[in-house]
Structure 1
Amino acid sequence: MRVGFGDVAAVKTTADMFAELDDRFGGDHARHATVQYLSTEVTPLLRGQYTEQVGRALFSTVAEATLLAGWMSYDACRHGLAQRYFLQALRLAQDANDRRLAGSILSAMSHQATFLGRYTQAATLARAALMGISPVATPTLRAQFHAMEARALARTGDVRACEAALGAATHALASRNSDDEPEWISYFDEAELAAEAAHCFRDVNSARKAVLHAENAMSGSHVRSDFFATMVLADAHLRAGDVEEACRVALDALDLGEQLKSARCVSYLTEFRRNLAGVGTSKDVQLFTDQVREHRLWIASDERVGA
């Protein structure tokens, strides 16, 4: 099979479509279709005949698509599968000599490690991402890698190091030039960084700072990211002692996430429910639970909280 740039463009366009579905509906919505496409349509291309230029473009594009499969599997909380896709994507990026993409894959692995409670490993992966591509790192990539390190450090309780990493991320992002950035990192903007900071300050129990950053984290264009940011905002209000506002914001999140098929979203909601249970039953809590008991994500979280 002869492979050309047209084949690479077709993979790119199809992967972009799957990425949009993932963003709007969650990782479990189109994960099977993405994996099947990679297996039946994309893998044979790697065994085809192509020039050196086409080969580099092909391997980079397939690495991006495989990274997406990893993110989708992670979002579905199929963690072993996600790790295998991340490692496969990393090998493809290395074969393409695409150091920036390889760094981004290490950053994704850091994100998952923090979610799984492997905080030291997560911080190490984030630092490896930054050091590994230092000569070719763009400001946005540096900002994202510093933010991943901050997320891990927040979970370890190292407030000073976490704030230093967040400061480095803010400084890096301020110097970005969109024309010089890879297309696949364009999503990481001020709203995304605010969301990362909100997670960090929530995790170090700086509830008011978490509220401030979470309020600046809504993009309006990324449904799942906005759900996460809204749940962090709700949790921050709860930790600040404002139960009524926490419930109001959580209701907004559930309305926003009604179409999402994402086990990670269920995990965020489960954590909020456990924290809400810790404040006891009140009129606000009772009204909130009456309003949300039929929401799909709420029903999905029932089993996790033992309801």
Structure 2
Amino acid sequence: MLDGKFGGGHARRALIQYLHTDVRPMLDGKYSDSVGKQLYSAVAEALLLAGWMSYDSGLHGIAQRYFIQALRMTQTAGDRLLGGSILSAMSHQATFLGRYQDAATLARAAYTGPAGVLGPTMSAQFRAMEARALARLGDERGCDLALVEAERKLSQRIPDSDPPYIAYFDEVELAAEVGHCFRDLGRSTEAAERGAGAIFGDGMNNRSDFFATMVEAEAFINQGEVGRGCEIATTALQLGEGLKSARCVQYVREFRDRVAPTMRVAVEFRTFTEEERTFRLWQQCALTP
């Protein structure tokens, strides 16, 4: 909850300290086979969160180490489903870092590894990660096929059809993924349409709402609607005031850099840049290359 509301940089150190001081000694204990497997799965889930929070904080090497440790824990626990979720997280990070082919491969491994026991929500999330990578690769047909499959799978979910840790992935999250894909494929009108349905607005998913809102803003900018795009970007920056997230800073930087030179001279954009200097994420964006 803290991660989603305030960003990975907010409580990351508290989680890391807990893992080192409280969790590590537990792994030296002796347990029955059943309890031992449950413990290793629980530790893997905590390591996965540590990886996500480190990734969100821009600590990519550290994040990868936590993801790999988490994978090893799932192997010891025999937890193929959680292993798939970790591969999916690694795919997400690889896309962010520009390793798009690796990202697609990781997403497919997440999907095919536990295929026989995979529930609909996890299937949908893994295919959405594949779609994100394919969109960045410019594979429009492959991306569309993966998104259609993700939507089909998500429509099949029922209560308790998937583990609790994947319950966050719902229609709103999928809409956000679709918006990212359409933006990256240059289908701005569709990205704007899907972006409107990708907002939680509950105050508990501020980072997700920030990402979706920035994608929607960029979609309008790409359509030439500078005023509307800047208005939506302002909403995103307001959401970002309480977030400690290197990824959020990167989204702002990409939005700023992708505005065409012809749009930069527009009155709406010049007014926007004057106003946005007061926002923390915009300031951080200006301070880093």
Same fold (TM over 0.5): yes
Query: The residue matched to 2:9 in structure 1 has which SS?
Result: coil
Return the match for 2:86 from 105, 116, 125: 105
Query: Deviations 1:115-151 (Å, cap 9, x if unpaired)?
Result: 0010110000000011101000000010001000000
2:264 and 2:270 in contact (8 A); partners too: no
Secondary structure in structure 1 of the residue aligned to 2:190: helix
TM-score when normalising by structure 1: 0.92
Q: Which runs of 5+ in 1 are unaligned?
A: 1-19
Do structure 1's residue 265 and structure 2's residue 248 form an aligned pair? Answer: yes
- The CA distance in 2 between the partners of 1:86 and 1:156, in whole Å, is 24
Q: Give the corresponding residue for 2:236.
A: 253
Cα deviation, residue 51, structure 1 = 1.5
Following TM superposition, by how much is the alpha carbon of 1:303 offset from its aligned partner in structure 2, in angstroms? 2.4
Residue 174 of structure 2 corresponds to which residue in structure 1?
Answer: 193
Q: Does 1:91 align with 2:75?
A: no
1:177 and 1:125 mapped to 2: Cα distance? 26
Separation of aligned partners in 1, 2:92 and 2:161: 24
Deviations 1:31-59 (A, max 9, x none): 11111110111010011122212111111
Task: Report the equivalent of 1:162.
Answer: 143
Give the CA RMSD over aligned residues: 0.9
- What is the alpha-carbon distance in structure 2 between the residues aligned to residue 58 and residue 151 of structure 1? 32
SS of the residue corresponding to residue 200 of structure 2 reads: coil
Q: Describe the SS at the equivalent of 1:47.
A: coil
Tell which deviates more after alignment, 172-181 or 74-83. 172-181
CA contact (8 A) 2:125 2:150 kept: yes
Looking at structure 1, the residues matched to 168 and 123 of structure 2 have their Cα atoms a distance apart, in angstroms, of 14
Normalising by structure 2, we get a TM-score of 0.97
Q: 1: CA distance between counterparts of 2:2 and 2:172?
A: 21
Unaligned runs of 5+ in 2: none
Q: Which amino acid aligns with 2:188?
A: A
CA deviation after TM superposition for structure 1 residue 200, in Å: 0.2
Matched ranges for 1:30-49 at <5 A: 30-49=11-30
Provide the residue aligned with 1:5 in structure 2: none
Aligned length: 286
Aligned-pair identity in percent equals: 56
1:235 aligns with 2:218: yes
Contact kept? 1:143, 1:173, Cα under 8 Å: yes
- Using the TM superposition, name which of 115-124 and 44-53 deviates more: 44-53
Are the aligned partners of 2:195 and 2:216 in contact in 1 as well (CA < 8 Å)? yes
- Are the structure 2 counterparts of residues 32 and 277 from structure 1 closer, same or farther at C-alpha, using a change threshold of 3 Å? farther
1:107 partner amino acid? S
